[in-house]
Amino acid sequence: MPEGDTVWRTARRLHQALADRPLTGCDLRVPRLATVDLAGRRVMDATARGKHLLTRIEGGLTLHSHLRMDGAWRVYDPGERWRGGPLHQVRAVLSTADHTAVGYRLPVLDLLRTADEDRVVGHLGPDLLGPDWDPQEALRRLLADPARPVGEALLDQRNLAGIGNVYKSELCFLMRVSPWLPVGQVPSPQRLVALAKRLLEANKARPARITTAESRADRRLWVYGRAGKPCLRCGTPVRTDGLDPSGQERLTYWCPACQPDPASPADQTY
């Protein structure tokens, strides 16, 4: 699941493959960009901003993409077979003499002026993995609505940028709070912000996300993806709910023993 660490890693891979090289080919497979040809322009850099990817191109242009739930960029050597999915899922192809970057299942793909990047990322809060990280500002934004459920507040990219469903569930478990607890009632909320930063920093260069310090594939995460399985801390079956606090279809996982709260939804499922 693409979250801030995944997007940071993707941006680094794109930067290493494309930056400071002229494009030898460009194929943007969305209707509004179908006639755009950036071949001959140099890629200046690729950077992450929260869950957004900004690929800056010579001439003051930025190719903006967002991975959302299952989007991905893959980088291939010349002649290497593309393996990221069927061709009809390809939304973007950027080629240099040395590499080809292929964007699969990209729900967001826009070309804008670099000077207008704030139009797509200016609303974001401090980036957990960015140079603008400001823990005090992130905490201020997180607590601005103290009655808001902490899980919902963590997912709001206007508070702090980079957290998705996995880290939402894992952070609430590590803090021993229900995802439905009002954020204003979270003990030591500054610790929550610091823990979020520490987890994303620890995982940004790892191929597999780990929050437990375990290397086994079935024990890398405390609760996420473990519905019905024993809690790794207390043995109680982990529960899941198919809706996040705002009603969107986002899975939340929690241990009812380690994270008790009467505000948890009544329709809990395994």
Three-state SS letters, 10-55: HHHHHHHHHCCCECCEEEECCHHHCCCCCCCCEEEEEEEECCEEEE
What the block records as the tokens of 254 is 């929690």
> Are the CB atoms for 154 and 161 separated by under 8 Å?
no
Report pLDDT digits (tens) over 225-260.
999 999 999 999 999 986 544 444 578 999 999 998
Report pLDDT digits (tens) over 205-228.
998 999 998 888 889 999 999 999
Please, which residues have CB within 8 angstroms of residue 108's CB and are 6 or more apart in sequence?
A: 64, 65, 66, 68
Which residues are annotated as catalytic? 2-3, 51, 250
Q: Where are the alpha helices (DSSP H) in the chain?
A: 4-18, 118-121, 135-142, 150-155, 165-174, 189-203
In the beta sheet, which residues pair with residue 218? none
Backbone angles phi, psi at 151, to 5 degrees: -60, -40
Look up residue 245 and give its DSSP letter.
Answer: T
What the block records as the tokens of 263 is 């505000």
How buried is residue 223: exposed, middle or buried, by Cβ count under 10 Å (0-12/13-18/19+)? buried
Give the mean model confidence (pLDDT) for residues 44-53.
96
Report pLDDT digits (tens) over 126-182.
999 999 999 999 999 999 999 999 999 999 999 999 999 999 999 999 999 999 999
